[in-house]
Amino acid sequence: MREPTFLVLTALTDGPKHGYGIIRDVAELSDGRVKLLPGTLYAALDRLVAQGLVEHVRDDVIDGRMRRYYSLTGNGLRVLQAETARLRQLAGAAEARLRALKPRLT
């Protein structure tokens, strides 16, 4: 799973969000490293909807502007949990090797 996809799914764990809210959360989660443009985000959301990981839940008009809200599906949550476990395992393996390497470098 690509990092932006992982971050979009993570951003939706605390409830439905509109596009700008997702963009803001992704930037915050990545400490500003990942900056999604609206076109990129909505293409990703369309793909995630087609995969059944995210669903469009409602549209609101605020100050004359349409806001489309998306939510994580049950399948999306399971996929995010599995990816989180996979990344945790990989990070653990890297940390173990780095700990083993440290005495040899000093």
CB atoms within 10 A of CB 86: 11
pLDDT digits (tens, 9 = 90+) for 23-42: 999 999 999 999 999 999 99
**Domain residue spans of the chain:** 3-100
Q: Which fold has domain 3-100?
A: Arc Repressor Mutant, subunit A (1.10.10)
pTM: 0.88
For residue 101, name the pLDDT band (cuts at 50, 70, 90): confident
Strands (DSSP E) contained in the chain are 17-18, 54-62, 65-72
Rounded to whole angstroms, how far apart are CA atoms 105 and 20?
Answer: 46
